[in-house]
Amino acid sequence: MAEQTLSHLLHEDRRFPPSEQVRAHANGTAELYEQADADFEGFWAARAREYVAWDTDFTQVLDWSDAPFARWFADGRLNASYNCVDRHVEAGNGDRVAIHFVGEPGDTRDITYADLQTKVAQCANALADLGVGTGDVVMIYLPMIPEAAIAMLACARLGAPHSVVFGGFSADALRSRINDAHAKVVVTADAGYRRGKPSALKSAVDEAVSVEGSPISKVLVVNRCDTNVAWDDARDVWWHDAVDGAAGERAPEIVDAEHPLFILYTSGTTGKPKGILHTTGGYLTQAAYTNAVVHDLHPESDVYWCTADIGWVTGHSYVVYGPMANGATQVMYEGTPDSPHQGRWWEICQQYGVTILYTAPTAIRTFMKWGAQIPATYDLSAIRLLGSVGEPINPEAWMWYREHIGGGHAPVVDTWWQTETGGIMISPLPGITSLCPGSAQTAIPGIVADVVDDMAEPVDNGQSGYLVITKPWPAMLRGIWGDPQRYKDTYWARWEHLYFAGDGAKKDEDGNIWVLGRVDDVMNVSGHRLSTSEIESALVSHPAVAEAAVVGASDEMTGQAVAAFVILRAGAGDGRDEASLITELKAHVGKEIGAIAKPKSIMIVSELPKTRSGKIMRRLLRDVAENREVGDVTTLADSSVMDFIKNHIPAKA
């Protein structure tokens, strides 16, 4: 019953077949799907040799004998930093710009691949002098500056796994990650710029490491903002002394394909953050391959910009390893989209002639809220491909993105993947797929995904269930650092040999996969299963709404009730009576989806509680909707948002 209801809810008939121009240019081909179907391991072996330079070629492709612990290309040997830097210089592309850096205060730096080679070698030498050897974990806690990428690549050069912690995390969060990873050295900066002001980092490191038994022996500090910092002569070292003074050559440490490349902490449903482990050969293969075929990257002509911070997996795979393995030219921006003005991103796109933009739906909806007149004043004509990642993109946001940023012609690729998957898994391919707004559509060549029911049976088209990956893939996590049991329990326990992604999904009538959000965000209203993102989409499709968040609030009568929080578009609420607007929005959802999905309550707010990575914290909204004390707000980008929302609870209906 519940499943049937849902099957009638999501309707999207618009399709955008690739234009001749996009098709003619695209790296992706229909043959890739055929090859992968015909010979799974042969397909991946070919990708590994196409996108990665091996010091010692591999003879084995996949070893799944110890499932769910996979080994890919296990007897191959390579170095990731050689792949991301040196080989481009050797190929004669040393003069190509690797990074167009744009700092928040407006300072800029262009770094070529030849420059990068020197800087990475210098940083590797400095880290080695600080005692870092192969296998030692290095913590990186930096703003979005080139030194972040350089430090990551320097670690890779030494075979020392890095663990990047987003600069917005607190000292406590940093400490628990340092301790869990047994890191030896931290690379940080005095501070980073945030909306025109330095935001301290070094002080958080001091707090995180000045505890009995901290495994950290050295802290390498970039002077980014020239702020005053406390200094421990025995422990702290300036980057400009240690790195800039070091020799500009260092041979890359050749490691096994399964050597750890990085650990990245991500939050689980409960308990402490999980250290997701990624290794070298398979990860690099998938990062580079997906970046080439999904973003349709042509390194010799594109200017690519992935707006993710290096602290998240998107920054790892699609700022550092994917694009750099491909030898791309990219933009790196330190600041926020509205600093110093709301056209900042478009100004940067215009200035550097950005051709490929990869960002998150939350940003797109923010730009919708600010209005199309802002990007319209910039020349975005170079943009030819747009990507979306991190959460479901509402069809209306997808349409807006294509129309107002993509000039009405740029394909939008909605890419589903996770910290755990390491690289893109489900996405249309430009030039091949007929695009369907709001859907990530189908697994890319080489990935086998499905939507299954409780019994692990694939659901029919039009039905919903759980998103699973049915075959191992090269960039899959190799485990949770120090906790093999948790790895098995979290991802492989629900059904044997199926990777449980934790997301709900549905197949539409054409078999396109719609990722509906985490299964913990799925609501059950009167026994009907409803997706928060689907109702959000409906709300956002109303002309007055810029952004919406929906939660399932427990309800005595119906199990759960739909509670919505909406931000209006600029001017949309002017002269309107709030109550009548709310009635209209409820009716709109009823019209778009069905009476069952009508929110029981709608609250008009000016901001939504978001994590620093831009994810809406529905847990907190649920607390408000259920009239509870609001829980832990420490991971919010702006904790005052909750005070505002709490104080504006409308009278209970």
Residues near ligand WTA (CB under 6 A) are: 266, 313-314, 389-392, 414-419, 440, 501-503, 515, 517-518
Residues 6+ apart with CB under 8 A from 144: 167, 192, 309, 310, 315, 332, 333, 334
Nearer to ligand WTA, 189 or 513 (CB): 513
Tell me the Cα Rg of the chain: 24
CB contact at 8 A, 262 and 461: no
In the complex, the smallest distance separating the C-beta of residue 494 from ligand WTA, rounded to whole angstroms, is 15
Nearer to ligand WTA, 148 or 425 (CB): 425
CB contact at 8 A, 577 and 561: no
Q: Looking at residue 411, what DSSP letter applies?
A: -
- The helix/strand/coil state of 241 is helix
In the complex, the smallest distance separating the C-beta of residue 164 from ligand WTA, rounded to whole angstroms, is 13
Nearer to ligand WTA, 116 or 620 (CB): 620
In the complex, the smallest distance separating the C-beta of residue 163 from ligand WTA, rounded to whole angstroms, is 15
In the complex, the smallest distance separating the C-beta of residue 222 from ligand WTA, rounded to whole angstroms, is 26
Phi, psi (degrees; rounded to nearest 5) at 412: -105, 125
Nearer to ligand WTA, 125 or 307 (CB): 307
Nearer to ligand WTA, 330 or 419 (CB): 419
CB contact at 8 A, 508 and 7: no
Nearer to ligand WTA, 162 or 586 (CB): 162
CB contact at 8 A, 640 and 620: no
Rounded distance between C-alpha atoms, residue 368 and residue 404, angstroms = 9
Nearer to ligand WTA, 220 or 513 (CB): 513
Nearer to ligand WTA, 242 or 535 (CB): 535
Nearer to ligand WTA, 121 or 293 (CB): 293
* Exposure class string for 494-512: b at 16+ Cβ within 10 A, else e: beeebbbbbbbbbbbeeeb
**C-alpha distances out from residue 330 to 216, 340, 468, Å:** 33, 22, 33
Rounded distance between C-alpha atoms, residue 488 and residue 480, angstroms = 9
Nearer to ligand WTA, 118 or 433 (CB): 433
Nearer to ligand WTA, 86 or 414 (CB): 414
Nearer to ligand WTA, 150 or 413 (CB): 413
In the complex, the smallest distance separating the C-beta of residue 514 from ligand WTA, rounded to whole angstroms, is 8
Rounded distance between C-alpha atoms, residue 219 and residue 130, angstroms = 9
Rounded distance between C-alpha atoms, residue 291 and residue 97, angstroms = 18
In the complex, the smallest distance separating the C-beta of residue 15 from ligand WTA, rounded to whole angstroms, is 18
Prior bond of 340 cis (ω within 30°): yes
Identify each DSSP E strand in 498-587 by its residue range. Answer: 499-507, 513-518, 522-525, 528-531, 545-555, 559-568
Work out the angle between the directed axes of helices 202-209 and 171-181 (0-180°, nearest 10). Answer: 50
- The helix/strand/coil state of 246 is coil
- The helix/strand/coil state of 569 is coil
CB contact at 8 A, 330 and 581: no
Nearer to ligand WTA, 390 or 430 (CB): 390
CB contact at 8 A, 642 and 629: no
Q: Looking at residue 584, what DSSP letter applies?
A: H
- Quickly list H helices, 39-101: 40-51, 80-81, 87-88
In the complex, the smallest distance separating the C-beta of residue 536 from ligand WTA, rounded to whole angstroms, is 12
Rounded distance between C-alpha atoms, residue 3 and residue 215, angstroms = 51
In the complex, the smallest distance separating the C-beta of residue 261 from ligand WTA, rounded to whole angstroms, is 17
In the complex, the smallest distance separating the C-beta of residue 35 from ligand WTA, rounded to whole angstroms, is 25
In the complex, the smallest distance separating the C-beta of residue 278 from ligand WTA, rounded to whole angstroms, is 12
In the complex, the smallest distance separating the C-beta of residue 346 from ligand WTA, rounded to whole angstroms, is 23
In the complex, the smallest distance separating the C-beta of residue 166 from ligand WTA, rounded to whole angstroms, is 11
Nearer to ligand WTA, 5 or 415 (CB): 415
Which residue number is nearest to ligand WTA in terms of Cβ? 419
In the complex, the smallest distance separating the C-beta of residue 557 from ligand WTA, rounded to whole angstroms, is 29
In the complex, the smallest distance separating the C-beta of residue 96 from ligand WTA, rounded to whole angstroms, is 27
In the complex, the smallest distance separating the C-beta of residue 518 from ligand WTA, rounded to whole angstroms, is 5
CB contact at 8 A, 557 and 595: no
Rounded distance between C-alpha atoms, residue 459 and residue 448, angstroms = 15
In the complex, the smallest distance separating the C-beta of residue 440 from ligand WTA, rounded to whole angstroms, is 5
Rounded distance between C-alpha atoms, residue 450 and residue 457, angstroms = 9
Helix and strand tally (H, E) in the chain? 23, 30
Burial class of residue 125 (count of CB atoms within 10 Å of its CB; 0-12, 13-18, 19+): buried
360, 365, 370, 371 alpha-carbon torsion, rounded to 10°: 110
